[in-house]
Amino acid sequence: MFFEDLLSCITRWAKSRNWRALLTAGALLWTLPLLVCCFVLWGWSISPQVIYERNMNLVDRLIAETLDNQPDDPVNSPGDDGADAAADKHDTQESSLALRRILQLGKDNERVSHIVAMQLVRQGRWGDAVAKLRKIAPERGSGFPPAHLWLAEYQVSVLKKFNVQVLLNDLDVANGSLTTMPGKMVLVHAQLLVGVGRESDALSMLELRAKQSPKLNLDLAKLAAKLDRPQELRAAVAVCEELLSQEYADNDRDERFYLESAELAGLVGETETLKRFINAGVEAFPDSADLRRLQSNMLAKKAIE
């Protein structure tokens, strides 16, 4: 009798419940803790190495942007004023966050040091920046190529005085890695190589860089002529002539066209072509001091002969 009454009571109680609402509420109560556990497990599964690599990817992108936008003169670095200043502030904040996270993980390397040094430069702390870069770009050894290049530009454009061997080492390392180099630094490198008796290295370097920057072919031609390398000379002159032809195909010939054309003709010993360009240039630009000087030199040489 007791069990029958108990079963009847349980049955009536069960029928009086809204089980759908109870199951829905219960599912929500169980789902929320489950989601929290999933997020905790996901966060735990991300190793410090993964976090480091993600932040290093950001640092690498900022390094690439820094190198792409690096001017010939590092004194006038981006972010001096106006829109550049705003962009520079955003980049600094972005890189600072990534660098802070990397340093928290106890991982520092040459790429991080390079970005930190560039931030020091933007703050006007040149000495601190140079000291930090020298740790990853030694004066007498090989280090991080972009740091070597920046230090070479700093010596040439900011200090305006340098130790030849130190500067040459910086440029050798930068050039050896095929780091993008401004034309000004390529020419400085060539002059230093010639100055220490490494003419062949200078010619090879200019040949390689001229493929990246065709305008360097004129300097390559001058060096080839000086070293009596006729094959390299004629190849460089042919490129220069092609560049001039393309540049002035739809433009009026200016003073520079006649000066460079005459110089190219003189390098390969084409005397008649040289005379023609000088005379045509003087006729087109009678007030040009450079063209008149060339014409005077030509006439003086003819009189001596």
Whether this model's pTM surpasses 0.85: no
| Interval 185-229: pLDDT, tens | 999 999 999 999 999 999 999 999 999 899 999 999 999 999 999
| Interval 240-258: pLDDT, tens | 999 998 888 777 889 999 9
Identify the CA nearest to 146 among candidates 92, 96, 120, 182: 182
Residue with tokens 């190219």: 264
Using 70 as the pLDDT threshold, list the residues of the chain that sit under it: 1-3, 5-7, 9-10, 12-23, 25-30, 38-108, 302-305
